[in-house]
């Protein structure tokens, strides 16, 4: 399942997975566009998913649960970048709701399918913008002093904190599912529509920006590389991590802050009302795993 699988990087990831024999679920707000993309790809289907709506997330997860007896890969890819302040129907700040809370809920609701599938992976797409984030997670719902770029950076830091905390919890039990993250570098997609004309011009330069197909490669490495380890982070290895061949990269020290990870998890549970299922019960196993 690829969120935002109908366009941009998500489409390229979906097409690559389908070409490797996966049946792919393209999750998108626009089911017409997703259906057309699925027809182009082949071996794919569309599911409606609006990450800004917790109800829509629940409906999509229920549909997947009812129709899929296994889930090898969940690619948490969809997102928005530097959009004006808005609140969702659930009362959440829009960027945080789409980029983090929607995926937090979706992953939790699909965890039983993932845990039941040997070797399954959760890959969450972050951004190098996470390095600019100043950790203020308790203020994610406040309009005061809202800055679109800061809100985006916060959400991308949240993607990594979520990934690392999820992996910590999976590793605390004998779960075969692993959590990884990736970032695509600077990619020429529709996410830049709210940026300045100068920024849009600059990313057309080949050493400052790359295609959606190139941006998909770190995500595909996280999803498919047999040598990938739990908690790995992949991205372009070229200058400034904007472009280049994919490989393992390091995220910011803040993204590895254990207290921040737990605080975000508790905040997310409180906002969404979702408590993740007991992995011990889901796997039928117990006892801690040694560090990987």
Contact 233, 248 (CB under 8 A): yes
Question: CB-based burial of residue 124 (10 Å sphere; 0-12 exposed, 13-18 middle, 19+ buried)?
Answer: buried
Cα pseudo-dihedral 265, 268, 274, 278, rounded to 10 = -10
Q: What is the C-alpha R_g of the chain?
A: 18
The contacts of residue 196 (CB under 8 Å, 6+ apart) are: none
Catalytic, out of 146, 152, 164, 233: 152
Angle between helices 54-67 and 102-115 (to 10 degrees): 20
**30, two tokens:** 């626009």
The Cα diameter of the chain in Å comes to 55
- Whether 233 is a known active-site residue: answer no
Report the SS3 class of residue 46.
strand
Alpha-carbon gap, residue 87 to 251, rounded angstroms: 29
210 and 188 in contact (C-beta within 8 Å)?
yes
Report how far apart, in Å, the C-alpha atoms of 149 and of each of 60, 85, 233 are.
29, 11, 22
Phi-psi category of residue 8: left, alpha or beta, with phi > 0 → left and psi -120 to 50 → alpha: left
The residues carrying an active-site annotation are 152
């Amino acid at each position: 399942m690829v969120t935002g699988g109908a366009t941009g990087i998500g489409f390229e990831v979906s097409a690559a997975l389908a070409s490797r024999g996966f049946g792919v679920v393209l999750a998108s707000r626009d089911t017409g566009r997703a259906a057309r993309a699925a027809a182009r790809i082949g071996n794919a289907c569309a599911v409606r998913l609006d990450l800004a709506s917790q109800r829509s997330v629940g409906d999509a997860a229920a549909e997947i649960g009812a129709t899929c007896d296994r889930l090898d890969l969940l690619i948490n890819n969809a997102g928005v970048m530097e959009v004006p302040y808005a609140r969702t129907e659930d009362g959440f700040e829009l960027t945080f709701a789409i980029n983090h809370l929607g995926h937090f809920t979706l992953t939790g609701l699909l965890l039983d399918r993932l845990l039941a599938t040997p070797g399954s992976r959760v890959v969450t797409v972050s951004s190098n913008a996470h390095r600019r984030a100043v950790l203020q997670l308790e203020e994610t719902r406040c309009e005061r002093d809202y800055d679109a770029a800061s809100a985006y950076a916060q959400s991308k830091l949240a993607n990594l904190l979520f990934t690392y905390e999820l992996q910590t919890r999976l590793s605390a039990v004998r779960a075969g599912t692993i959590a990884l993250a990736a970032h695509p570098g600077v990619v020429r997609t529709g996410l830049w529509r709210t940026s300045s004309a100068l920024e849009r011009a600059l990313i057309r330069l080949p050493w400052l920006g790359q295609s959606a197909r190139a941006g998909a490669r770190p995500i595909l490495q996280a999803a498919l590389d047999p040598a990938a380890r739990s908690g790995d982070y992949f991205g372009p290895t070229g200058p400034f991590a904007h472009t280049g061949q994919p490989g393992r990269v390091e995220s910011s020290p803040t993204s590895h802050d254990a207290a921040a990870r737990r605080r975000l998890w508790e905040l997310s549970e409180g906002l969404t009302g979702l408590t993740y299922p007991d992995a011990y019960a889901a796997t039928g196993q117990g006892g801690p795993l040694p560090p990987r």
